[in-house]
Structure 1
Amino acid sequence: MLTMPLSETQWSPTEEKIAKTAFDTAYCREVASMMAEVKRQAQGATNPDELWKLHDFLSARRHDLDGKYDFRSSMLIFVFAQLLKEDWLKLGELEGLSADKIAKIKALALI
């Protein structure tokens, strides 16, 4: 049962470090995947339309990433749940967070 409102979640200094490491790890994974896709598309581009399609892809991905990776303490539970769902983060990478936070993240991620 979720007992603490998500917006009032408090993070200890140790949990903040764990959260930052997990956050950065997931971000790097997703950006590396995106970069590989950009390289693949760029190598296959043979005309201006394909170049503009790549531009549109990058613009959309930047918008998506900017919205998803929000390190405000009030948003981290939601961010981590989404990253777990999308497989950019593994549950074990959140080890050290309180049991309550892990339970909330798991419930939101449906795992």
Structure 2
Amino acid sequence: MHDLKWTHAEKTAAKALFDVALEREMTDYITRFKTSAAAIETPDALWSLVRESEQKRREIDERYDLRYSVLVFVFAGLLRRGLIDEAELAALGEGKAHLIAELAKM
């Protein structure tokens, strides 16, 4: 996969889809974080939420890698998690969309 070539148009579409998926995940997490924060009544609950948010940040940092050499795997993982759908992959071209969909099934 490291030798997979990306056209300028595909790179532009990939960056846009990448940003959409990240925004979706962050928006969802912010909503859940606010709910959890509103329920905090003890210092232990506060520190638990802090630890959870630090873990979430690490997960997001690991999941979202915009290097084109690994981007098909990133998109496959996002597709598996429901953060993007197959229709959105069409902008990446039929070949890449098919490859990502197949990788997501593994």
> TM-score if structure 2 supplies the norm length?
0.95
Question: In the comparison of the two structures, how many residue pairs are matched?
Answer: 106
* Identity %, equivalent residues: 34
Residue pairs, 1:27-42, within 5 angstroms? 27-42=22-37
- One-letter amino acid of the counterpart of residue 76, structure 1: L
Q: Are 2:40 and 1:56 equivalent residues in the alignment?
A: no
Please give the per-residue CA displacement for 1:7-62, whole angstroms capped at 9, x wherever unaligned.
Answer: 11111000001101100000000000110111011000000000001101110000
RMSD: 1.1
Q: Which runs of 4+ in 1 moved over 2 A?
A: none
Unaligned residue ranges in structure 1 (runs of 5+):
1-5
The CA deviation at 1:104 is 1.3
Distance 1:96 1:51 in 2: 42
Q: Which has the higher helix share?
A: 2
Matching residue within 60, 67, 81 for 1:86? 81
Matching residue within 60, 67, 72 for 1:72? 67
Distance 2:102 2:27 in 1: 28
Q: Give SS of 1:8's match.
A: coil
Distance 1:74 1:43 in 2: 41
Q: Give SS of 2:53's match.
A: helix
Unaligned residue ranges in structure 2 (runs of 5+):
none
